[in-house]
Amino acid sequence: MAQTDTVTRILDTAEVLFAERGFAETSLRTITSKARVNLAAVNYHFGSKKALIQAVFSRYLDPFTVRFHHALDELEAQHAGRVIPLEVLLETMARTVLEVPAEKHSLKVFMKLLGLAYSQAQGHLRRHIQEEYGSVFTRFTDLVRRATPELPDAERFWRLHFVLGTVIFTLSGLDALRDIAEKDYHEHVSVRDLVRRLRPVVVAAMNAPLPPPPAAQPAKAS
């Protein structure tokens, strides 16, 4: 068979449709007809629609996890026990995220899927991702802790999620934003342009001054 594998064709089609419309709004019939495979093929190869959704994510996250662990290994070896600067850590993560889909898939699709995974409750998905890929994230945050010793733990936790929100929100809604930006500012924006713009903002956000301690009794007077 010269044509690509049925499993691959299903995954390729499903990830695009999922990213465009969400999970519940994409039926197996739409996927299989657009992929020109049999309807029963999904349940044959994956078992269920839920399993297909997880498989779509695994195809991105598995290579990402391998690469990111490898990149962190190299980083730790280079710095030999010394603290790895925050910007190097962020840079490494950004580079790895950009590398993985560049091989054959679309970064835009990947980011849209990540955004969906967070917003569309889909309990099974969040659980699956947490259990399967939580350890890489823990390793990363441990390194970030050593890079920002002046930050209280809780403050660092929140700020990491702040910037996570920025990145996922921006890159998952990229198309709509890009259209507006090009129309209003006559400026073509590539993903790498966006990363370039993101870098100083993210660094500034992490290094922002600490907020004032909460007022014990929030008095109305300013």
Partner DNA sequence: TAATGTTTAAAACAGTCGTTTCCAGTGGGA
Partner DNA sequence: TCCCACTGGAAACGACTGTTTTAAACATTA
Where on the chain is the footprint of a second copy (CB under 8 A)?
A: 20-22, 24-25, 115-116, 118-121, 126, 153-155, 157-159, 161-170, 172-173, 176-177, 180-181, 184-185, 187, 192-194, 196-205, 207-212, 214, 218
The interface partner of residue 78, options being DNA, a second copy, none and the CB cut-off 5 to 8 Å by kind, is none
Please choose, out of 32-40, 64-72, 78-86, 198-206, the segment that lies near DNA by the rule CB under 7 A. Answer: 32-40
Comparing CB distances to a second copy, the nearer of 70 and 192 is 192
Applying CB under 7 A, which of residues 20, 44, 70, 161 lies at the interface with DNA?
44
The torsion defined by the Cα of 11, 16, 20 and 24, in degrees rounded to 10, comes to -10
Would you say 18 or 68 has its CB closer to a second copy?
18
- Alpha-carbon torsion (81, 85, 90, 95), positive or negative: negative
Partner from a second copy, DNA, none contacting 154, C-beta within 5 to 8 A by type: a second copy
81 vs 211, which CB is nearer to a second copy? 211
- Count CB neighbours of 136 within 10 A: 17
Q: Which of residues 68-107 bind DNA (CB under 7 A)?
A: none
155 makes contact, choosing from a second copy, DNA, none, with CB < 5 to 8 Å by partner type, with a second copy
Residue with tokens 């073509």: 188
Nearest-angstrom CA–CA distance, 166 and 195: 11
b (16+ CB within 10 A) / e for 93-126:
bbebbeebbeeebebbbbbbbbbbbbeeebeebe
Give 36 or 197: the residue with its C-beta nearer to a second copy.
197
Helix, strand, coil share of the chain (percent; to 5)? 75, 0, 25
